[in-house]
Structures are given as structure tokens and as C-alpha cells.
Amino acid sequence: MSNTIDYYNKNADAFAKETQSLDFSVTQEKFLSYLKEGDLILDFGCGAGRDTKYFLDHGYRVEAMDGSEALCKIASRYTGIEVKHMYFEELEESRKYDGIWACSSILHLPYDALVEVLKKMQKALKPSGIIYTSFKYGDFAGERHGRYFMNFTQASFASLLSQVGGLTVIEEWITGDVRHDREDERWLNVLLRRSQS
């Protein structure tokens, strides 16, 4: 992840300018439809803080973290809450969150690390808690333009999920990129529910 973290630290201002004002409300509202006002959300890899701010503004409690120190500072200023600098692998909570939002974030992990991080995410959820996550669509895995990406299709994600346990797909859909110059890029969006046990 070091090259990816370096990329975000060096390009934090440009990344914030590109992403903070994007309208992502359709997906945000789909996620929130499984939660109730006041629920606790972990924004897992919050970037510049767009989604954290949206959830806070809509009456949810939010904890936010990111692996880029530069983005943590930007997101803290933007959202008005302290954003924790930590890496995905450092998540050690148990049955704490009603929802975990991992938008375009854990896609930077290689396969084996992703399996372990999803296990940590499952453990961090309350029973019946919800995860939203997204990946670029396809079968590419490797570094591209300074960042590591792990792409998935529905079939390859199902195979990944079988190694995690305790999580069930409740919705899965394909979208284009919301950025105006990348509409042709396809994304796999997934909503997962933790088992009740």
C-alpha cells in the first residue's frame, strides 16, 4: 500500500477538489435505507470527507479514518470531526458499528489482505450490520498510475466472499463513474449484511 498512500499524500488537494463536491446521493441513500437515524457509521477510507459530511448532515453518527495523513487533515477540516489516521489492517473493533462505508477504498488492497480486512470489517459490525463497498469492474489486479487496484466482477467477488464468512450480499449493481470525464468506467457496487450471530 505504500505507493498508494504516497500517491494520496502527494495529490491530496487535487483529489479533494475532484471528489468533495460530487453528487453521490443515490448510492448514499441506498446505504442509509438499511440504517436508522442516529446509527453509528464507520467511513472506512474516507478520503476528503465527502461521505462523512453527508452522513453527519443527515443525522448519523460517524467515525472516519484514512491511511493518508494529508487527506485526514483535509477531511477533518471539511467535516468538523477528528478523522483518524490509520490503515485498514489496524481495524480491531468488535460489534461496534451499524454500518461500514468503504467507498472506492479497500479496492487498493491485494487479494489476501482484502480477505483479512473484510473479516475485520465483519467483526466490527453489530449483528445484521451493513457494509457498502465498491470496486472497479473487471479482472485487473496491480498498480496503475501510482496506485494499486484490485478489480472484481460479480463472480470473482462471490469467490472472495466465500473465504470471508459471515457476510451476505443483499444488493449488487453496476454503475458508471460519477466523475464527468470518466463515465465509461464501470464500477461494481455491493451491499453486504453481517449474519445475526
pLDDT digits (tens, 9 = 90+) for 104-131: 999 999 999 999 999 999 999 999 999 9
Angle, nearest 10°, between helix axes 69-79 and 12-19?
40
pLDDT at 179 over 70: no
Confidence of residue 180 (pLDDT cuts 50, 70, 90): low
What pTM value is reported for the model? 0.95
pLDDT tens digit sequence for 73-105: 999 999 999 999 999 999 999 999 999 999 999
DSSP state of 137: B
Q: How confident is the model at residue 182 (pLDDT cuts 50, 70, 90)?
A: low
**Mapped to the 3 state alphabet, what secondary structure does 20-89 carry?**
CCCCCHHHHHHHHCCCCCCCEEEEECCCCCHHHHHHHHCCCEEEEEECCHHHHHHHHHHHCCCCEECCHH
Which domains are seen in the chain, by residue range?
2-194 (3.40.50.150)
